[in-house]
Amino acid sequence: MGTIILGTGSCLPSRVMSNVELESIVDTSDEWIRTRTGIENRRIGGTGEKTYQLAASAARNALEMAQVDAEEIKLLVVGTVSSHMLMPSCACYVQNEIGAASAFAYDLNAACCGFLYGLDAGDRYVRTDTQSKVLIIGAETLSSRVNWQDRNTCILFGDGAGAAVLGHSDDSERKIIGTNHRSDGGLWDLLYMHNAPSQNPDLLVEDNPGAHIIMEGREIFKHAVKAMEEAIFGLFKKTGLSIDDVDVMIPHQANFRILNKLLERLEIPREKVVLNVMHYGNTSAASIPIALDEANRAGRIEPGSTVLFCSFGGGLTWGATLLSW
């Protein structure tokens, strides 16, 4: 008995950008990108594919699968760091687009952990109001937030959105089993993005190159593997479960090398792991809900399956969630 996912949805921009196309933009190669990251293609938003528009489309798909009307949604959360506006929130735009007139809506800034942190907030909301339905979305257009001259970062990211509708189940076997989330603001400068320059000269941030991603790739790599491993083993300890109990693992789709290292340490069979980073690159907060929706629609998740999520991102933020489907 507890919170369950009633429906999932996703939406990806139609434009595919290959590694070969990137070769004409920055000094890189298809071979370098494939061997260092496993990424082959990513999707790039075009006209009519702003963050809220992708999010709204993913939300409609999730609502349709859940057979929930938009007006039944009480809480609408969008994990994002790339909305086209700072205010109003992306979530308020989505609310308006889909007609979720009874909801309160807000954005959640936890970088790549936006969906998992949102799932935690949604779970707690449903548990205190078991009649309520909640919509959690991860949506990004990071193509608008990378420096296309910086080969260290622009090759990694892509655009997309994924969504999940949450509700209460009386079935004793089905619930979000547990979460183990952490942050460390002390390591903020390994991965960050400036805001628009301050209009108050006293509050100007020095050396603000503009609102795009800046990253210490090697440091992020080390922290990502260690943090996700610790979050997962911490969660097993908390819940009394082990890697053998996991039927499906849906990690944040950062890149193959990070994931390979993590999967080696977990000793989980590869066929249990959902991977799509080669097609979409790193879509930050959207990566887990997109992979979840694809796995769900492909029938990879069955009633009773134990599903493991884990993520890591700027903040730093990281965490793991276990649920019984």
The residues annotated as belonging to the active site are: 112, 252, 282
Q: Quote the CA–CA distance of 288 and 122 in Å, as a whole number.
A: 16
Binders of ligand ACO among 35-54, rule CB under 6 A?
A: 36-37
* 277 lines the binding site for ligand ACO (CB under 6 A): no
> Is residue 174 within 8 Å of residue 8, measured between CB atoms?
no
**Binding status of residue 152 toward ligand ACO by CB under 6 A:** yes
CB of 280 to ligand ACO, least distance (A): 13
Place of tokens 């990513």: 42
CB 184 within 8 A of CB 316: yes
Instruction: Indicate which single residue of 225, 309, 312, 320 sits in contact with ligand ACO (rule: CB under 6 A).
Output: 312
Pick the binder of ligand ACO from 24, 218, 240, 267 (CB under 6 A): 218
For position 291 contacting ligand ACO by CB under 6 A, the verdict is no
Q: Which of 257, 261, 265, 297 binds ligand ACO (CB under 6 A)?
A: 257
DSSP state string for 230-296: HHHHHHHHHHT--GGG-SEEEE----HHHHHHHHHHHT--GGGB---HHHH-B-GGGHHHHHHHHHH
Q: Is 109 in the site for ligand ACO (CB under 6 A)?
A: no
Angstrom distance (rounded) from CA 272 to CA 292: 13
Taking the C-alpha atoms of 112, 33, 257 and 247 in order, what is their torsion angle to the nearest 10 degrees? Answer: 70
What CA–CA distance (Å, rounded) separates 294 from 216? 31
Q: How far is the CB of 204 from ligand ACO (least distance, A)?
A: 27
Closest distance to ligand ACO from the beta carbon of 89 (Å):
22
Q: Amino acid identity of 322?
A: L
Q: In angstroms, what is the minimal distance from the CB of 313 to ligand ACO?
A: 5
* Residues contributing to the site for ligand ACO (CB under 6 A): 28, 32, 36-37, 112, 151-152, 155-156, 191, 215, 217-218, 220-221, 224, 252, 254-255, 257-258, 282, 312-313
